Structure 1
Amino acid sequence: MDIPRIFNVSESAHRIHNPFTPEKLATLGTALRLESETRVLDLGSGSGEMLCTWARDYQINGTGIDLSPLFTEQAKLRAEELGVTDRVEFIHGDAAGYVAGEKVGVAACLGATWIGGGVAGTIELLKQSLHTGGIILIGEPYWLRLPSTEDVAKGCLAGSISDFLLLPELLASFGTLGYDVVEMVLANQDGWDRYEAAKWLTMRRWLDANPDDDFAKEVRDQLTSEPERYAAYTREYLGWGVFALIAR
């Protein structure tokens, strides 16, 4: 059970597997007014930076589920580094369909809404783990401006233009699902650059260390094409943010 290998290679040096910076994660925690001992569930928890830093800074208790054995192990090491192993637990597993055994105050899925077949399905999944009145966090891309063609959308690694919404439409869609948007924190250009460009050095270092690996051609192809693709498409068209929701 694992994610595609290219992500384990290209994002192996990442602590945050989305366009948020550490500062943005801290801003989100502050914005949510997290209380000590709040239970947080994170589906698709990656290398655990959100839960680990929030456990350190806000004394939350958290559980993270991720499909990558590598990222799950990195999350456990991060918990040890920050001295929060008594507050957070990381489980290697499929977050799709995961429901917490004990209700939580915050249920999150940041950048992995595929686990529920999209935003609406992921919200339905998260609410099964949530206390009445608790907060759902959804991390999701949105169009900064609509692509002019489907080819442009595919250049942003979307399947089609309809995969994402403009920000006002995304916010309105949460209301249609029966939720108030009570906070949002949006990634900025620097966050996108740090997320994407950091992959390139990681891939180059991996290629230098593994020239004869059967996977080297795929990594080489990614390294060759990604800087130009990112600059032409994702950087120009895609935003990303975390949206805090409470059921009406």
Structure 2
Amino acid sequence: MELPRSVTIREGDLRVLNPIDEAKLATLGRAVKLAPGAELLDLCSGKGELLCTWARDHGITGTGVDISTVFTAAARGRATELGVADRVRFVHGDAAAYVPARPVDVACCVGATWIGGGVPGTLELLDRALRPGGMALVGEPYWRRDPPDEETVVGSHARSRDEFRDLPGLVRLFGECGWDLVEMVLADQDSWDRYAAAHWLNLRRWLDANPDDELAPELRRELTEDPLRYVRFQREHLGWGVFALLRR
């Protein structure tokens, strides 16, 4: 059970593995009014930046679950670095199958709704972990502009036009699933740029250091093609945000 090696190479030394920067992650923590001692569950927790910084800044506790041993090790190191290793823990495993020992105050899946087959299924996974009145946090792409053709859909890393909704459609979907949207923090083009472009530098540095690796041709092709694809399609058409939801 592990992510492909190309993913960990691409993410490199990034701490936030989504197109919101550390400032927006901090804004989100303040916006949802975290109470000291609140318990969080973060499914697909990546390198643990959400849990670790929120434990430091808001006094929360929590558990992160991720399929990547590399990311889980980085998350544990970050917890130690920030002095919160006694308040957060990180588990290597299948986030979709994880059920906490007791209900939590906040359950998150930020940027990985594939674990539930999309937003509705992921909300069901989060709901089963929440105490009554608990909050779900979901990170999800949406169309900023309607893609005019299939080339734009593929260039935005979508499997189909219907994989994502526009922002009103996504908000409508939350309501159809029985949740109230109570807060949101959206990526902007600058935070998208910082995330996407960091991948290119990580790929180039790795290629320079590993020219004979079996992954080198694949990652060389990605570095050649992805910057143009990003500025032509994804940057203009795809948005991303984290949405705070409460059960109706």
| TM bucket normalised to smaller | over 0.9
Tell me if 1:99 matches 2:99.
yes
SS at the partner of 2:107? strand
Paired amino acid for 1:235: R
Q: Is the 8 A contact 1:40 1:106 kept in 2?
A: yes
Paired amino acid for 1:164: F
Tell me if 1:16 matches 2:46.
no
Q: Who is 2:34 aligned against?
A: 34
Greater mean alpha carbon deviation, residues 164-173 or residues 91-100: 91-100
Provide the identity percentage: 57
* Structure 2 Cα separation of the partners of residues 124 and 97 of structure 1: 12
Q: Who is 2:151 aligned against?
A: 151
Q: CA deviation at 1:10?
A: 0.6
* Structure 1 Cα separation of the partners of residues 14 and 217 of structure 2: 22
Q: CA deviation at 1:18?
A: 0.4
Q: Is the 8 A contact 1:107 1:136 kept in 2?
A: yes
What are the residue-to-residue correspondences of 1:74-223 with 2, within 5 Å?
A: 74-223=74-223
Query: If the length of structure 1 is used for normalisation, what is the TM-score?
Result: 0.99
Greater mean alpha carbon deviation, residues 54-63 or residues 149-158: 149-158
Q: CA deviation at 1:155?
A: 0.9
Please identify runs of 4+ aligned residues in structure 1 that moved more than 2 A: none
Tell me if 1:57 matches 2:57.
yes
Greater mean alpha carbon deviation, residues 78-87 or residues 145-154: 145-154
* Structure 2 Cα separation of the partners of residues 16 and 67 of structure 1: 16
* Structure 2 residue runs without a partner (length 5+): none
Q: Is the 8 A contact 1:97 1:116 kept in 2?
A: no
Tell me if 1:226 matches 2:226.
yes
Q: CA deviation at 1:62?
A: 1.1
Q: CA deviation at 1:97?
A: 2.1
* Structure 2 Cα separation of the partners of residues 231 and 13 of structure 1: 23
Paired amino acid for 2:240: W
Q: CA deviation at 1:5?
A: 1.9
- Provide the alpha-carbon RMSD of the alignment: 0.7
* Structure 1 Cα separation of the partners of residues 227 and 163 of structure 2: 23
Deviations 1:144-192 (A, max 9, x none): 0110112211110101110001101110110111110011110111110
* Structure 1 residue runs without a partner (length 5+): none
